[in-house]
Amino acid sequence: MSDAIFSYHDDVLHAENVALPALAERFGTPLYVYSKAALTNAYRAYAKACEGRNAVVHYAAKANSNLAVLGVFAKLGAGFDIVSAGELARVIAAGGDPKRAVFSGVGKQAHEMRFALEKDVFCFNVESRPELDRLNEVAAQAGKRARVSLRVNPNVDAKTHPYISTGLRGNKFGVAYEEAFDAYRAAAAMPNLEVIGIDCHIGSQITEISPYLDATDKILDLVEKLEAAGISLHHIDVGGGLGITYTDETPPDITAFATTLLDHIAKRGHGHRQVMFEPGRSLVGNAGVLLTRVEFLKHGETKNFAIVDAAMNDLARPAMYEAYHEIDPVERRAADAVTYDVVGPVCESGDWLGRDRALAIAPGDLLAIRSAGAYGFAMSSNYNTRARAAEVMVDGNEAYLVRERETVESLFAGERLLPDNA
């Protein structure tokens, strides 16, 4: 872990200038802690590559859709990539500009399209022929023309986990490369659609640049073929997916990555078109930690367990993708480390957060699960009727509660018993 923003001072882990034990004391655990400086630095790394070019950054809100996180990016000037009407509502509530949002996703419902048209989103990233038909119809009913881009599946291997690889044939995403030309012709003939762009998104946690270059080349081939057929595209959206360092991965530096792609597009003669980046994980992943407290240490014959108060419902990635997150004691102790599986209280063997970790810890100690800013809280659930964690954002010396811990009563407030006579 290389980020200096979450670092030790006198053997106590801090977020910026705030000691994490103080936050655990004040807000309880499990607790998500984000750093505003880390969010800002990551955004600026993209913005630096875009400076002086026709290129923009749309934060993929699904990675972490807390209003305060969206608000930070809105203030920095980001656009947004959204995948539901709910996310659009969040972006608006956070002060984001819906006119700078692109609407992705394979299953947009008519009511979501209507809402997005009402808010005048910049573009619908359409993923299938039937979606084109539906959007054309909804736009006609609203008396509008919807701006569209087609998400094309370039059939390249992003070399990442199969669950987060999206650009291969056989994925549910996008229009097949071979069918894209015809789909564009169909879209261009629809009276209530305005074809303006093309997009792809080949996967997530990608740590090499070559799959992006391959995908971009295929997209540009198609752009040229479309241009020759009289369909001229205003923008090329290269998607998100850039990986981060969880442990020993070495993804390209953000600015270098974005610059390389922009240069590549310009070199191929498409520098006049707007380029969009849609990063999620690389903007927020290393800007957050999940704080959890050790409840019990259980020493067994073959394994030792550190049972903590966070669980798979708080951070699903280990259970879901066997994802690795570094786990560090918040206060370093001078004691010998013991190897533990760090597990939560949920009644599932899949409820683990880290395996075979050497830790010098005692019951009551705090642990920081690193790199938890992306797909952490956003994927959390109430499984086992566990109230979801609170979220805090640190800015320099200040810490702000940006989501209250849920109450147990709120979890079943919408439920009803059957009537007595049933």
Ligand X SMILES: *Cc1c(COP(=O)(O)O)cnc(C)c1O
Binding site for ligand X (CB under 6 A): 60, 62-63, 81, 83, 104, 201, 204, 239-242, 278-282, 374
> Three-class SS of residue 226?
helix
Tell me the closest approach of the beta carbon of residue 145 to ligand X, in angstroms.
23
Exposure string for 79-88, b = 16+ CB within 10 A, e = fewer:
bbbbbbbebb
Tell me the closest approach of the beta carbon of residue 175 to ligand X, in angstroms.
13
Measured from the CB atom, is 186 or 378 closer to ligand X?
Answer: 378
Tell me the closest approach of the beta carbon of residue 102 to ligand X, in angstroms.
8
Tell me the closest approach of the beta carbon of residue 122 to ligand X, in angstroms.
14
Token pair in block for residue 316: 């699903």
Q: Identify whether the C-beta of residue 30 lies closer than 8 Å to the C-beta of residue 407.
A: no
Measured from the CB atom, is 164 or 195 closer to ligand X?
Answer: 164
Active site residues: 347
Alpha-carbon distance 235 to 195, whole Å? 10
Residue with the closest Cβ to ligand X?
280
Q: Is 25 left (phi over 0), alpha (psi -120 to 50) or beta?
A: alpha
Tell me the closest approach of the beta carbon of residue 10 to ligand X, in angstroms.
35
Measured from the CB atom, is 63 or 69 closer to ligand X?
Answer: 63
> Of 243, 281, 245, 274, whose CA–CA distance to 61 is shortest?
281
- CA angle at 65 for the pair 278 and 15, rounded to the nearest 5°: 100
The strand pair at 123-126 and 146-153 is best described as parallel
> Three-class SS of residue 331?
strand
Alpha-carbon distance 338 to 292, whole Å? 18
What are the distances in angstroms from CA 123 to CA 55, 145, 147, 153? 15, 11, 5, 18
Residue 218: how many other CB atoms lie within 10 Å: 19
Angle between helices 67-76 and 36-50 (to 10 degrees): 40
Write the single-letter amino acid at 274.
Q
The answer to whether the peptide bond before residue 345 is cis (omega within 30 degrees of 0) is no
Tell me the closest approach of the beta carbon of residue 283 to ligand X, in angstroms.
8
> Of 273, 147, 280, 146, whose CA–CA distance to 222 is shortest?
273
Measured from the CB atom, is 98 or 280 closer to ligand X?
Answer: 280
Tell me the closest approach of the beta carbon of residue 383 to ligand X, in angstroms.
23
> Of 414, 384, 244, 393, whose CA–CA distance to 314 is shortest?
384
Q: Identify whether the C-beta of residue 383 lies closer than 8 Å to the C-beta of residue 314.
A: no
